[in-house]
Structure 1
Amino acid sequence: MSNLGNQALENQSLAKQVPRLFIVMGVSGTGKSSLAQKMSDELSLVFIDADDFHSLQAKKHMADNKPLTDEMRAPWLATIIAHLTSLHQQGKSVALAYSGLKSVHRDLFRELPFACHFLYLVGDRNVIEKRIAQRERHFFSTELLDSQFLAMQAPMQSEQDVSFINIDRSFLLVANEINNIVKEIVELGNNE
């Protein structure tokens, strides 16, 4: 069977399961949006970038090099969760690009009726800082990176719904690893 034929079968397989939520997480500059978008395109998932749900006030706050407070994150998270709930009701599986800084916030996504899995992007701080500096027209600056590292409550290696992905290599290698992990999760779901 051709690669396209195999891909079509895998996509149908994903569509027949309980809707899945794959959360590509990490500090800013790790490639969450690009990797989640690529996964979404290749596996026929709905792509959501959590940054798109920030209020103009929150974006301005970050553009002024001020980190968000938990009080500022609460309505943002509520909006994302409401949107995800709607997609679940439609039977859609989702690739979400989301920082996932706080453990308690990640638990909110675990409470949704999706089969949920986190793909935690980790890498060298200098590499991440260079990536942020190269971005154009983004509200997040390199000066906020330290606040993200400080706020990050990294998942524990023992968390069964988290895969740790090293991003200190080419985008294509990272994207391929993510797609392989997701395909394995889908295949395991088919065998249950």
Structure 2
Amino acid sequence: MILIAMGVSGAGKTRIGELLAERLHCDFTDGDAFHSAANKAKMHKGIPLTDDDRWPWLKTIRAAIEEKQHAHETAVFTCSSLKRAYRDILRAGDKDVCFVYLKGTREVLQERLSTRTGHFFDPSLLQSQLETLEEPNEDEAITVSIDLTPEQIVDEVIDRLKMR
């Protein structure tokens, strides 16, 4: 099984991904690690990424997913996965890939981003991400509110995985 914690910046993808991997006793990989230096520089300057910027990044993450699958390993990844087309690349038709959508209000997300330090993402890009976001429907992802504590989110995801 491959889990992908998704959502806009500030949703808590990394923290939730780490906790899920810990609970599932598997590897965790932050999708941001696959961004090119050029992508990171653009985001640091507050310039939104285009689809052309994202395609190679998504394909690199998909290749990492396939490595885990070929090794028959469970793994947790993070990736904003804002559009269905992006999720389609990451999923590639695999029923073994499950998205976990971390959903939050603009206010909560802005507050989180305003207190975050040491990240390349310019908080001014939140609006662009929210405009790009195509929220997944129930058959595409497990949706969890970021108003819950990280532990409650992980508990809910684990419970919902058991029902799948």
The alignment's TM-score, normalised by the length of structure 2, stands at: 0.93
Q: Which residue of 2 aligns with 1:123?
A: 104
Amino acid at match of 2:157: I
Q: Which residue of 2 aligns with 1:175?
A: 154
Deviations 1:29-60 (A, max 9, x none): 00011101100011112211110100111101
One of 70, 80, 83 as aligned partner of 1:102:
83
Deviations 1:42-100 (A, max 9, x none): 11122111101001111010000011011111111111111111111111111111111
Does 1:149 pair with 2:149? no
One of 29, 43, 60 as aligned partner of 2:24:
43
Q: Which runs of 5+ in 2 are unaligned?
A: none
2-structure distance, mates of 1:86, 1:150: 32
Where does 1:23-172 land on structure 2 (aligned, <5 Å)?
23-111=4-92, 113=94, 115-157=96-138, 160-172=139-151
2-structure distance, mates of 1:95, 1:35: 10
2-structure distance, mates of 1:130, 1:112: 36
2-structure distance, mates of 1:114, 1:50: 20
The alignment's TM-score, normalised by the length of structure 1, stands at: 0.80
1-structure distance, mates of 2:160, 2:17: 13
Q: CA deviation at 1:23?
A: 1.2
2-structure distance, mates of 1:110, 1:80: 10
Q: Which runs of 4+ in 1 moved over 4 A?
A: none
Amino acid at match of 2:155: N
2-structure distance, mates of 1:117, 1:167: 18
Q: CA deviation at 1:114?
A: 5.7
Conservation of the 8 A alpha-carbon contact between 2:59 and 2:90 = no
2-structure distance, mates of 1:152, 1:113: 22
Q: CA deviation at 1:138?
A: 0.2
Q: CA deviation at 1:113?
A: 4.3
Indicate the structure (1 or 2) with the bigger Cα radius of gyration: 1
Q: CA deviation at 1:171?
A: 2.3
Q: CA deviation at 1:110?
A: 2.3
- Between the two proteins, the alignment pairs up a number of residues equal to 164
Where 2:147 maps in the other structure, the secondary structure is coil
